[in-house]
Amino acid sequence: MAVGSCESIVLLYSQPRIPRSALQIRCSSSLASKQASSSSKIPSALQDFEAVIGVETHVQLGTATKAFCGCLSQYGAQPNSNVCPVCMGLPGALPVLNERVVDFAVKLGLALNCDLSLRSKFDRKQYFYADLPKGYQISQFDIPIARHGSIEVDLPVEYGGGHRKFGITRVHIEEDAGKLVHAGGGGRLSGSPYSLVTFFFSSCCFSLLVFVDLNRAGVPLLEIVSEPDMRTGIEAAEYAAEVARVVKCLGIGSGSMAEGSLRCDVNVSVRPRGQAAFGTKVEIKNMNSCAAMHRAIDFEILRQVALHKEGLESKIVQETRLWEEGSQRTVTMRAKEGLADYRYFPEPDLLELVLKQEQVDSINEALPELPNETRRRYEALGLSMQDVLVLADDKSVSEYFDSTLEQGADMKMAANWIMGDITAYLKTEKLSISDVKISPSVLAELVSLIKDGTISGKIGKEISDEAEIASLVDKVLLENPKQLEAFKKGKTKLQGFFEGQVMRSTNGRVNPILMKKVVAQKLGLS
């Protein structure tokens, strides 16, 4: 019965089109198809229930070297080329903490409005797995470097907009594990591997070989744990997108879910509206984009609510489920056999992590403008929320925009140019905004010329070279011999037809006055 309702739920969520953009438009617009906008209203089925969602994020730091040794931290290097006794866990090797990891951790803690622990420590999180050479992961257990923070997001306009503030429970430093490669493909899913051992067994029992690449072992991570403040898939997805924006803005990592430098796991439970006690928490892994997070969470909420409505809430068990991108649903890994016991104890090989207040203060003063601050500033300038969200999504775009404004350009026109034509150009040419050849000052000049009325808006992109127009007209006449024949025989109205065809062939970008003149010439009318 419950399965039946899940099938119908899947139909509601048939895969939306995901338009691409070289400007890495915020995750929300990747769902900005007509199908998605219908899910912005809460289905009536959900109104009696409230979903409680928490997100755990692992951020890979962009330091040159690993957390505890001088090996390079390098994506795509030949397997097992960036290794040493420390990160391979060979006997006698000792870890030494990378000072830049501390710097980045402080930056992120401050950007997330956290209380920093001026004294914190490292602990050993112990378990056995092929990609964990030491048999433990160096992490921070009970005294993390940062706690009690918050992050503010603006929900996409197409989902009703709105401002939210979500709590951050903690941020701590830890090291990444190596990579497993199976002969049958696959590897470790993001997050804790404890329950994944069983996954490998069930899905890869025909794989006799497991290969290990330790290049990634020891790469520094920051783990961010949110408060369970999110209530919908879009809220959680936007939280993740904002974390990625902050990471990129601070310059502490590439913050890309697609590349694996930003990994999110979510915890989802539902409870009848008004109930104080939380429902059973289900963990979801294997989401590779903000859009996937959105869909996975919304699916899981409906799955749990459906079970409640059938009186089958006992079937919701504490487990880890995987998001299947192909079938657009969550599926059970094997149910957890009790909680993992990591036998944490303080890492004896590392000193206490001590921060000096002066160090923290100077980092705080040097923080760049954060994405939320940029959005508030653009709102105050009078831009629409839709424009604000696009322009403030990527720091290099907002810097370009700010630069254009500094040169005196009209705000609304500069915004439209950047969001419209420049975005389209970058998309077709596959460039990023820093590559674009129109410098902010040139764009500002162009914008002011348009504003003065010196040139029309279309001129900026117009074809007005007569020789070029002539060859375009020739092409059109060649391609339409029947109409040319008819014109010569007296159907003079076809002049308009040829003009239209030339206009179409340039997507409206040709100077109309010049074009008409050339067409008339070529038709022998002048």
Stretch that binds other proteins, among 93-101, 227-235, 375-383, 496-504 (CB under 8 A): 93-101
254 in contact with other proteins (CB under 8 A): no
The size of the chain, in residues, is 526
Cβ nearer to other proteins, comparing 337 with 452: 337
Distance in Å, CB of 204 to other proteins, minimum? 8
Kind of pairing between the strands at 210-213 and 353-354:
unpaired
Question: Among residues 115, 118, 92, which one has the least CA distance to residue 167?
Answer: 115
Torsion of CA 151, 154, 156, 157, to 10 degrees: 170
428 in contact with other proteins (CB under 8 A): no
Cβ nearer to other proteins, comparing 66 with 375: 66
147 in contact with other proteins (CB under 8 A): no
Phi then psi dihedrals of residue 334, to 5 deg:
-65, 140
CA distance 494 to 51: 64
360 in contact with other proteins (CB under 8 A): no
| Separation of CA 76 from chain center | 21
341 in contact with other proteins (CB under 8 A): yes
CB 266 within 8 A of CB 236: yes
Q: Binding residue for other proteins (CB under 8 A) from 49, 129, 400, 487? A: 129
332 in contact with other proteins (CB under 8 A): no
Q: Binding residue for other proteins (CB under 8 A) from 352, 361, 474, 479? A: 352
Cβ nearer to other proteins, comparing 204 with 514: 204
State the residue for tokens 């500094």: 406
DSSP state of 58: E
Cβ nearer to other proteins, comparing 119 with 315: 119
List own/partner pairs for 227-231 with CB under 8 A and 24 or more apart.
Answer: 227/54, 227/166, 227/167, 227/168, 227/169, 228/52, 228/53, 228/54, 228/267, 228/278, 229/53, 229/54, 229/166, 229/167, 230/52, 230/53, 230/54, 230/55, 230/166, 231/50, 231/51, 231/52, 231/53
Distance in Å, CB of 362 to other proteins, minimum? 16
CA distance 499 to 520: 9
Binders of other proteins among 172-201, rule CB under 8 A?
181, 197-198, 200-201
226 in contact with other proteins (CB under 8 A): no
Q: Please, what sign has the CA dihedral across residues 128, 131, 136, 139?
A: negative
268 in contact with other proteins (CB under 8 A): no
139 in contact with other proteins (CB under 8 A): no
130 in contact with other proteins (CB under 8 A): yes
Distance in Å, CB of 83 to other proteins, minimum? 7
258 in contact with other proteins (CB under 8 A): no
63 in contact with other proteins (CB under 8 A): yes
286 in contact with other proteins (CB under 8 A): no
Which residues of the chain form contacts with other proteins (CB under 8 A)? Answer: 63-65, 69-72, 78-81, 83-85, 88, 90, 96-102, 119-121, 126, 128-130, 143, 181, 197-198, 200-201, 207-214, 341, 343, 346, 348, 350-352, 354
